Structure 1
Amino acid sequence: MVAPEDEELEEETTARELEASILRAFREDESRRTAPLSPENAATIVNAMRGVSFSGYTPEWADRVPEDLWLDYLRRLRGEATAATPRI
């Protein structure tokens, strides 16, 4: 027979291990999501997206931001030099 104190200690230990495991999983996920793409992976994505078509559909927000601002924003995301433009 297991003493109630031992059961409580075991439950607390299990709970701490579970919480530590969850926190570790969140950190690993965040690390993967924020890791920079390699140039090869970025090129693969860009090439794949060239074939994407929305059949003439334009989202309503697309007309509110001039195309040159979007292009500068995307270039900044890729680390390319751009002309000074306001942030989106």
Structure 2
Amino acid sequence: MQTDFIAAEECCVHYNIELSFIQSLQEYELIELNVIEEKTFIHTNQLHDLEKFIHLHYDLNINMEGIDAIQHLLLRMKSLQDEINYMKSHAL
């Protein structure tokens, strides 16, 4: 087993969340789950996003549609910021 994956069930225990929450995140394409030998895993590079979504949902009571909208806006802001930085670095 590669060490860059962690079992979804372990995440649930560690963060005290339901597996259905992680599955909902996958349904909204906010995270990607991998099934290996009939077990569900999440890539470790997605743990930061998972923690962010847990905070939004459990601490701020934001539903899945809201989390999806927030993630879309955050990604759009990052894209625009990257574009601004590029333009600044290539200005005449």
Q: TM-score, normalised by structure 2?
A: 0.31
Rg larger in structure: 1
For CA contacts below 8 A with separation 6 or more, give which structure has more relative contact order: 2
